[in-house]
Amino acid sequence: MSAAIEFRNLSFATPQGRLLLDNISLALPEGSITAILGRSGSGKTTLLRTVNRMVEPTSGEVLVHGSNVRDTDLIKLRRGMGYVIQENGLFPHFNVERNVGCVPETQGHPRAARIRRSHELLTTVGLDPTSFARRYPHQLSGGQRQRVGLARALAAEPRILLMDEPFGALDPLTRAEMQDMLRKLLHRLKKTVLLVTHDLDEALYLADRIVLLEEGKLIADLDAAEFLSATQPEIQSYIRAFHRGERAVEQNANQAAGTPNPSETAK
């Protein structure tokens, strides 16, 4: 019962019969930060979306705080979870303040309280309310939009945060800033987080557990340190694809400075 999210023998096939999730069982403890890693099409987004029932599994079940999501009121279930996606999905006709406060708004909270809460959250995600609250999404940079998206996801004080490639569309520097902000925030907030990413570095930096999916199958469920030292070929190929640039530069430098190649001296 201590698991915040639990997948039991979960499978999902498209109506065309393509198996996207293949018998996945996994339990995520309350307060844990789990990264779901995998290449495009591995089923990681689908897995995430079964939690808030944006996808209904073909078989198996998803439990949230011990109760089957299928038996939970859909609206209540979704309002209890923050949701952040790569395209941010901010409402273009709402200003930042109203975007952030939109879940409390749908719950009928009074306007003054919503605005107070929304300003508080903007500060939390590193945006000054006095200059950002009244702006519209198209007046923001990509990173700022993601911050607003994150603030909106936190507005109803959800215990669970679902994030699908939240920083996937950002440049590396902005992404690093966002990761720093999120890392600090998550350590403070103690929420159960499910983070979908294809970036091993991001997974290691933010999560305490890494789940690897491949073709809908669960390949590994390890903590970050275990993951790096694991010998499974699927994990190894992931690690090999990581920091390649650095290794290449190192190799080139060694070649240039090191012992001259004997075949070249022979010429």
Partner 1 sequence: MSSGFFSQYGSEMVTLTLEHLWLTASAMIFATLIAVPAGIWLTRSPRWARPIIGIANVLQTIPSLAMFGFLLPLPWLGEHAARIAIVALTAYALLPILRNTYAGIRGIDPSVIEVARALGLTDRQRLIKVELPLAASFILAGLRTATVTCVGIATIAAAVGAGGLGEFIFRGVASVDNRLVLAGAIPAALLALIADGALGLLERWLQAPAK
Query: Phi, psi at residue 139, to the nearest 5°?
Result: -95, 10
| Sequence-separated (6 or more) residues with CB below 8 Å from residue 52 | 69, 77, 78, 81, 83, 162
Q: Is there a contact between 53 and 162 (Cβ–Cβ < 8 Å)?
A: no
Comparison of 60 and 80: residue with beta carbon closer to partner 1: 80
The verdict on 168 binding partner 1 (CB under 8 A) reads no
- First and final C-alpha spacing in the chain: 73
The verdict on 93 binding partner 1 (CB under 8 A) reads yes
Q: Binders of partner 1: how many residues, by CB under 8 A?
A: 29
Comparison of 85 and 210: residue with beta carbon closer to partner 1: 85
The verdict on 128 binding partner 1 (CB under 8 A) reads no
Shortest distance (Å) from residue 75 CB to partner 1: 5
The verdict on 92 binding partner 1 (CB under 8 A) reads yes
DSSP assigned state of 87: T
The angle subtended at Cα 14 by Cα 4 and Cα 17, nearest 5°, is 130
The verdict on 152 binding partner 1 (CB under 8 A) reads yes
Q: Is there a contact between 95 and 134 (Cβ–Cβ < 8 Å)?
A: yes
The angle subtended at Cα 49 by Cα 175 and Cα 68, nearest 5°, is 135
Comparison of 93 and 187: residue with beta carbon closer to partner 1: 93
Q: Is there a contact between 83 and 156 (Cβ–Cβ < 8 Å)?
A: no
The verdict on 90 binding partner 1 (CB under 8 A) reads yes
3-state secondary structure of 108: coil
Stretch that binds partner 1, among 63-71, 83-91, 121-129, 187-195 (CB under 8 A): 83-91
Could you say which of 14, 75, 249, 255 contacts partner 1 (CB under 8 A)? 75
The verdict on 238 binding partner 1 (CB under 8 A) reads no
The verdict on 163 binding partner 1 (CB under 8 A) reads no
| Sequence-separated (6 or more) residues with CB below 8 Å from residue 79 | 103, 106, 107, 156, 158
The verdict on 108 binding partner 1 (CB under 8 A) reads no
The verdict on 89 binding partner 1 (CB under 8 A) reads yes
The verdict on 118 binding partner 1 (CB under 8 A) reads no
The verdict on 146 binding partner 1 (CB under 8 A) reads no
Residues that bind partner 1 (CB under 8 A): 52, 54, 74-81, 83, 85, 87-93, 102-103, 105-106, 136, 138, 149, 152-153, 162
